[in-house]
A and B are shown apart, each in its own frame.
Chain A
């Protein structure tokens, strides 16, 4: 059983609880154990970096050091947490002076960062660590060519880490195909949802979400799959406001990829947190129901 230090992030406690539930359920089925990191703190999101960079790195380094202490690689389901943690680790490894400064602060909590922990996004664990073949073998209720949008969002791929394909990735599509869905060729799959602007520049964020939703409707998708709680909340919870603001009629379900994977594994929807959406995912469920009957 592969173990990871699990960093849920602030949003998975309540507003994105379904992501947490479905993550635990699906990883368990794939023989992966997500051990919640004890006493983890907020990663700083974007706001902390608006104030002091060194402080922001220290916040992340605390989590990394704790993961190092338990000897496990860190897994974050939220793209924002993932990006912050990944680059903190990368910068500290590359710059010993910075690491020294941060470690000086970490001493107050009896922690030390030495860069031994790798940082992964939850979807990476599915696609790279577990592998699509393994996932496919556990699928008992393929999603019957459900038209799903693989919405990557922005911080899962950017900034560039290595020489990976940041303009035309296909791994999310690969995962969706493996569970029997029909990934949609979505021209805005790498576009930002405006997550960090939803409070500070409401109109800009709603505008961005509106374009994404309109494009989703134009592509005739049934549901949008996300890999980040910020994206899910932004795309789903404000559809009512967008409809009022722009005179549109959006009613597009937005779920987490783990929820779709869980449904394909035959896990009951309730256990995956389905039912807590503001835009109901019932259409998705009924589409898949037919799959159950046909099997």
Chain B
């Protein structure tokens, strides 16, 4: 008889097996949080997050900003004494969070990721200016002007793309994506 997977198993299922990525092996040593360069910006440290995953506290986990702060530097992963791929677990949580549309209010990460994916589907390439609006209006006026200043300088140095690039075989590309997930309203 099939049993409903618990939250820890759900997260593990969203990982492409780093040899099974044994979250349950965590001995709570704290090496990951001690190494993490962004730990100071997270409301819950990575170690604590894993303890909460193992305890099944789904809503609290999804309400934290921890995994959206992850810089994906993998330093935790290479140092973990239990060989847990913590960075990948953070990716899994991002995917879970986007799938369930459940995340902390005010975070830019989810919107940015969605925009990015739509952009790739549209053209096969990334194009920075398209991404700008996603955050400019989330930040304040000061940040807007700072970013505009930097962008202008880059443009003057010829480093900002003007026209969005696209790949040639875009139709095939879209159909290829469609074979993995239905594109639906992404097109």
Contact = CB atoms under 8 A, between A and B. Distances in A.
Contact between chain A and chain B defined by CB under 8 Å: yes
Interface of A: 10, 13-17, 39-42, 44-55, 57-59, 62, 91, 95, 98, 101, 104-110, 154-155, 158-160, 166-167, 190-192, 194-197, 199-205, 207-208, 237-238, 240-241, 244, 276-278
B73 A192 contact: yes
Interface of B: 14-18, 37-38, 40-41, 68-69, 71-75, 77-78, 85, 87, 91, 94-95, 98, 107-110, 112-114, 116-117, 120, 124-128, 131, 134-135, 139, 143, 146, 149-150, 153-154, 157-161, 165, 167-169, 172-173, 175-181
Contacts of A159: 18, 74, 77-78, 85, 87
A51 B98 contact: yes
A46 B177 contact: no
Contact of A199 (B41, B108, B120): B108
Closest 10 CB pairs of A and B: A192-B73, A158-B74, A154-B73, A47-B116, A109-B172, A50-B113, A105-B179, A108-B176, A108-B175, A10-B126
A241 B177 CA distance: 39
B114 A51 contact: yes
15 contacts: A15-B160, A50-B113, A53-B91, A95-B17, A109-B169, A155-B74, A159-B18, A159-B77, A160-B78, A166-B78, A192-B72, A201-B38, A208-B71, A240-B150, A278-B150
A39 B172 CA distance: 12
A196 B78 contact: no
A59 B134 CA distance: 23
B69 to A, nearest CB: 6
Nearest to B71: A192
Contacts of B143: 202
B150 A237 contact: yes
Question: Residue among B37, B134, B181 with the most chain A CB within 10 A?
Answer: B37
Nearest to B118: A51
Question: Residue among A50, A51, A154, A208 with the most chain B CB within 10 A?
Answer: A50
B16 A52 contact: no
Contacts of B74: 154-155, 158-159
Contact of A196 (B71, B85, B125, B160): B71
Contacts of A208: 37-38, 71
A234 B73 CA distance: 14
Contacts of B109: 50, 200-201
Given A15-B128, A196-B71, A50 B160 contact: no
B168 A39 contact: yes
Given A47-B117, A48-B120, A105-B176, 15 more contacts: A15-B160, A42-B126, A45-B116, A49-B95, A50-B110, A105-B179, A105-B180, A109-B176, A158-B73, A192-B37, A199-B135, A201-B68, A204-B69, A276-B158, A278-B154
B108 A50 contact: no
Given A194-B71, A208-B71, A14 B160 contact: yes
B69 A201 contact: yes
A230 B71 CA distance: 12
B120 A201 contact: no
A41 B176 CA distance: 12
A238 B150 contact: yes
